[in-house]
Structure 1
């Protein structure tokens, strides 16, 4: 029997994870619980871009932030501006749009990026491009270390209109998914919000797989224990972790 795995990433990001799951012998079921929407205003981001040459570092914590920033940027990055990203997925997104990555931490978390930037923080001006709602650990630690950090909102995440009905059908029916792949804290929040609105909970028998420690912590904070966590913060590692948990050859 081929196990079904619920993929809840934004639709434009789901194919990569779905392909990794298929290669691991699993059947992805794609039901996005979040989609990328513009922030309430681009004024802050556009203003920061207009002053880009005044910054020493440009920081990205997601591929979505990279993509939106590139769309708003008319021209090239100023010479001498250094770029730091939070992990391999964000690094690939940056390289895809022609940005050279200066720094990427071994630990793909805000804490890991903050630690890697500590030697560069004193007196540095840093622009952090991120979602409208995000953890503040990165800017807080950098400011404590002497950096001046400006935050620019590039996007926000919203629940797609079709998600509640599709998830109600999946979780209220007899054929529950064998596993759910969580790739961000937002995916945790949005899925649980939809399920709770429909009077549903995550099935106890379903494997809850996360892409990294921050997503795992978010799941625990919501009252659920992650079954398995990817060894590396990428979709291939996540798919292998799910396959292993389901005792499928990966």
Structure 2
């Protein structure tokens, strides 16, 4: 195996809603095969109150985004109502994750707070230092999001469920085939994807048939609860870092 291609002969399966060109290129540069087999999918939540929520988002002190999915759904709402980022120039924005921040910046927004660790728990702890009881926040959330942020922040937090997460089984047959015939590392980025895997694949294929990787401690806990072990987990919760951690594991 080439020293600069530690993933040679390995297949890295990404189970999230999408795969970026950057992630695919990174895996291939390390000698691996990148395979996107989603176990979850997302869809915008449509509501008659969308216009009111957009208006409210221009009035609160802070907007909170914890995923790229929330950003993309928000931008689609803006486009639907023919609005642009200049209308939010007075609002400060807090995000979890560098990719979430990049997606907002590409749409013309400025970012004012990012936690040191990309998790809701860390965000609550660090973000509270910037807040007063009278501070108003609007949290753009998914349907499966926990209440860590609205319950943990010491201010007035309103929530807008802007997209929904739901399981998808369309990739299950191919994922089973890959596990049987390839040397696979399966990357999980959410507890939702872990649950689908456990329901559809775990009864037939034990955890020891794959290398498991997780992005985020909540996802890692979901895997451990279902019996997974020897989980690759980077300190920084990004796809780039988990791929680098997988490569380091292969080199050792």
Q: TM-score, normalised by structure 1?
A: 0.86
Change (3 A) 1:240 1:79: closer
Aligned length in residues = 239
Structure 1 residue 61, shift from structure 2 partner? 0.5
Structure 1 residue 247, shift from structure 2 partner? 2.2
Is the 8 Å Cα contact of residues 186 and 212 (structure 2) preserved in structure 1? Answer: yes
Change (3 A) 1:104 1:151: same
Q: CA RMSD in A?
A: 2.1
Distance in 2 (CA, whole Å) between partners of 1:96 and 1:190 is 32
Distance in 2 (CA, whole Å) between partners of 1:202 and 1:96 is 42
Counterpart of 1:60 in structure 2 is: 65
Change (3 A) 1:2 1:135: same
Select which of 3, 11, 14 maps to 1:4.
11
Gaps (5+ residues) in structure 1?
none
Change (3 A) 1:69 1:19: same
Counterpart of 1:31 in structure 2 is: 37
Select which of 91, 94, 101 maps to 1:81.
91
Q: TM-score, normalised by structure 2?
A: 0.86
Counterpart of 1:228 in structure 2 is: 232
Distance in 2 (CA, whole Å) between partners of 1:191 and 1:16 is 25
Counterpart of 1:15 in structure 2 is: 21
Q: Select between 59-68 and 226-235 the one with higher mean Cα deviation.
A: 226-235
Counterpart of 2:162 in structure 1 is: 154
Structure 1 residue 191, shift from structure 2 partner? 2.5
Is the 8 Å Cα contact of residues 167 and 193 (structure 2) preserved in structure 1? Answer: no
Is the 8 Å Cα contact of residues 7 and 14 (structure 1) preserved in structure 2? Answer: no
Is the 8 Å Cα contact of residues 216 and 226 (structure 1) preserved in structure 2? Answer: no
Counterpart of 1:105 in structure 2 is: 115
Is the 8 Å Cα contact of residues 37 and 155 (structure 1) preserved in structure 2? Answer: yes
Change (3 A) 1:100 1:202: farther
Could you say what secondary structure the match of 1:80 adopts? Answer: coil
Q: Does 1:127 align with 2:138?
A: yes
Is the 8 Å Cα contact of residues 234 and 242 (structure 2) preserved in structure 1? Answer: yes
Counterpart of 1:116 in structure 2 is: 126
Is the 8 Å Cα contact of residues 207 and 228 (structure 2) preserved in structure 1? Answer: no
Could you say what secondary structure the match of 2:176 adopts? Answer: helix
